[in-house]
Amino acid sequence: MNSDDWPVVDPLPSYGHGRELPGGRHRSLIYGRNLTDVVITGNNGTIDGQGSIWWNNFWNKTLNYTRPHLVELMNSTGVLISNVTFMNSPFWTIHPVYCSHVTIQNVTIIAPLSSPNTDGINPDSSDNVCIEDCYISTGDDLISIKSGWDGYGISFGRPSTNINIRRLIGKTTSAGIAIGSEMSGGVSEVHAEDIYIFDSHSAIRIKTSPGRGGYVRNVYISNMILVNVDIAIRFTGLYGEHPDDTYDPDALPVIERITIKDVIGEKVKRAGLIQGIKGDNFVNICLSNITLNVSKKLPWNCSYVKGYSDLVSPEACEPLRERIFPEHCSDCYYLPNHLKSLSNQNWGAWLLS
């Protein structure tokens, strides 16, 4: 493989420069822009990105430009990716950016757990995205929802919204479902349900930092099974990583109305590591019906966060301990309309179907 065979294209305007290095970035193996009605499908055939050479260049610090994704579609509408196995991406595996009406279903994504930044599916400044019935095992976040980086993302101003994730199974050295850290254009209306995460570092992760601006709001994650996960819920307010020195440290992100409901976990080391930003609390974080078998003596570590909880074991940290019902239902995203009887939960049935 000769990296010169991979054209260098302009950085994304919402990022300002390549994600890894200043300047441009290598174009993805499968690439399209300004398209309508795109179908990538194939009877579970395999597309192998042969990423190991790129990973070695990353580790050896011999990259000249940001690594290519395996699939990137820009400014496109009506995208269907289904019944394909993607392996060994050089960088992020599937990257719809500035796209609308994207469906990714029955897709398998595999890369070594040691491979750097081989995220599975990263919807980026995109809307009306449906990801369902996927198996992902990679060296970084299984799904990471993004919307631009610091001032470039703020000025570009295209959020990711209406993101639906259903029936995801996977493992990773990073997070199962992540938002950020590049979220400066805003992320909202994220619904994820029927998720099985095993042998992973964390299950749910929100990453942000002073300088990002933007917001993450109206997120609802439910019906989640965790097995052998280090940290079930992790919010990081001081993630760092800036494109350059022009960012405004006073551009603080708004993190609010995050609901996590109906989670069971075995062999979990820590229930939650939830760290907001001093002077910029993460608010209306709501936890309901969560039961985790936790090994750490101090299962929760929370700072600069405010929210509510019901039926959480081990008991939530003090800033989240106030009861949801009945006073705070309206503060919690999506809860009032979704008060199913707990006795009707059929854990694991979807896994066996």
Catalytic machinery residues: 140
Rounded CA-CA distance 160/162 in Å is 7
Q: Could you tell me the two tokens for 292? A: 């985790």
Rounded CA-CA distance 144/142 in Å is 7
The residue type of 62 is: T
- In this structure, are residues 134 and 121 in contact, taking their beta carbons and an 8 Å threshold? yes
How many degrees, rounded to 5, is the angle at CA 56 between CA 198 and CA 74?
70
Which DSSP string corresponds to 122-154? --BS-EEEEEEEEEEEESS-SEEEB---HHHHH
Q: Could you tell me the two tokens for 211? A: 């300088």
Other beta carbons within 10 Å of 161 = 21
Measured on CA atoms in the order 210, 212, 215, 221, is the torsion positive or negative? negative
Q: 177 to each of 74, 85, 136, 174, 222, how far by Cα in Å?
A: 22, 20, 11, 9, 12
